[in-house]
Amino acid sequence: MHSLYPLYKTYLQQIADIKYASAVLQWDQETYLPKNGNYTRGRQIATLNEIAHEKFTDAKLGNLLKELFLEENLTATEKRNVQLTQDDFDRNKKIPAAFVYKMSSVINVGYHAWVDARKQNSFVVFEKPLQDIITIKKEEAELLGYQKHPYDALMNDYDKGLTVDIVDKLFAVLQPQLSLLLNAIAAKPIIDDSILRQYFDKSTQWELGVETLKRMHFNFDAGRQDISEHPFTTNFSNSDVRITTRIDENDFANMLWSCIHEGGHALYEQGLPEHEYGMPLGEHCSLSIHESQSRLWENCIGRGESFWKFNYEMLKQKFPQQFNNVTIQQFYTAINKVQPSLIRTEADELTYHFHVMIRYEIEKLLIEGTIVAKDIPTYWNEKYQKYLGVNVPNDVQGCLQDVHWGHGSFGYFATYSIGSLYAAQFYAAIKKENAIVENQLSVGNNLDVLHWLQKNIYAHGRFYNSEELCKKATGENLNSKYFIDYVTCKYKSIYNL
């Protein structure tokens, strides 16, 4: 009797082809699409998403999965693919194809309204389209089902099993510990980071970003970088991974750490098993794990002293006028300055989590119906004053700064903080296994870090959930102690606490 597994694999790969074709259109939408193409592009994406959903929820796949569960000769990998596909099939069957088309269309309108709202610096332009997105995401939560909170259904899409209870408890522990460290830093002299806010030519910044990505071993033969309104990473296979950045000629940090952050995401996608294309084991574990990869490269490495011992000369060669009279220690302290600010993507490692907590709280209230879209600016501004002590001067620097709501990505934000916790734990495991890793980074050797990640994170795809993968890689479940120890040690040294 011939196994049905090859037929199943071909079927899933055909669905992946459709989804990635849609992803190409979405990437183009955010990079090169002419303005007048907005409506038609939205229709094209909605149609492809509907076709992929119909094909994935077809009884043909359901029957194929039933027969595969009866096969006795499948390998452990094949069995896991089948099991995960069944989980995905059961979830997707709850969502009608017509609803998928409708939601895609609503989100397309919302995304372009967000872009226009940013140009006009007016949340009002985005308010109605955003409320439409919120409404349809609430409908999606009801279709998917949940035990306690409707927001659980949406967070589960980004990290399987993640719930409001889990995140509330996590933040309840993290917030006071971060506040203590921030208060201690606030009592110290403010670090001068004005060297980062000189004039930096756009094309030279671009060259620096590309060279930095090459030194991280991002494969430009299997990917590319472009400019977008909000930096992001997308992929169409592990051999075609696209990242974007944005450049501010008066803010050096904006571009470079966006490149490093998105480069961390991209290395993960390029490292996923090629032979599992279209299969669950060819996909990332979760968004929390994905964020761990970007945050590990951006902060543990990219804001680390060892990394710049090697790379600082390149920086001075690109910008001699700006950095020739600046020591590496001055540069290192400047890029690690801690100060409450307005923009999440530009925030330091400590205050960053308050940005995330504010967004998480807003999303939770929106999905449960306690507040609506028009309440967001007021709530946002009040929380920024309460948590970070900063006044929000306008909507672009406030509640219009993130693309996520325009994408319909409700349930995503908590994974940024959780990813930072995983990143610190993974980096501690790397250093425990390789005691000279910091020395290696100081001479430009990033390969041992990359090889550890390839072996312990990338290679497994979705075989394990986040907690299981963390335990396999580090020997224990997620433990926020590693992150607190990491930032405490780092900032005690920088600020002489």
Terminal alpha carbon distance of the chain: 70
Which of these, 433, 162, 169, 170, lies nearest to 289 by C-alpha position?
162
Inter-CA distances, 51 with 54, 55, 405, 475, Å: 5, 6, 24, 42
**Backbone CA torsion sign across 111, 117, 122, 125:** negative
Token match 């974007």: residue?
244
Question: What is the rounded CA–CA span in Å between residue 279 and residue 237?
Answer: 11
Question: What is the rounded CA–CA span in Å between residue 266 and residue 244?
Answer: 10
Question: What is the rounded CA–CA span in Å between residue 442 and residue 176?
Answer: 34
On the CB side of 244, how many CA atoms lie within 13 Å of its CA? 18
Cβ count near 96 (within 10 Å) = 14
* Active-site annotation holder among 30, 50, 127, 262: 262
Phi, psi for 208 (deg, rounded to 5) = -65, -45
Joined together, the tokens standing for residue 384 give: 């920024």
What is the SS3 assignment for 414? helix
Question: What is the rounded CA–CA span in Å between residue 66 and residue 201?
Answer: 59
Q: Which residues pair with 245 in a beta bridge?
A: 227
* Known catalytic membership, residue 262: yes
Joined together, the tokens standing for residue 466 give: 């986040």
DSSP characters over 387-450: HH-----SSTTTTTS-STTTTT-TT-THHHHHHHHHHHHHHHHHHHH-TTHHHHHHTT--HHHH
Cβ neighbors of 119 (< 8 A, separation 6 or more) are none
The catalytic site residues sit at 262
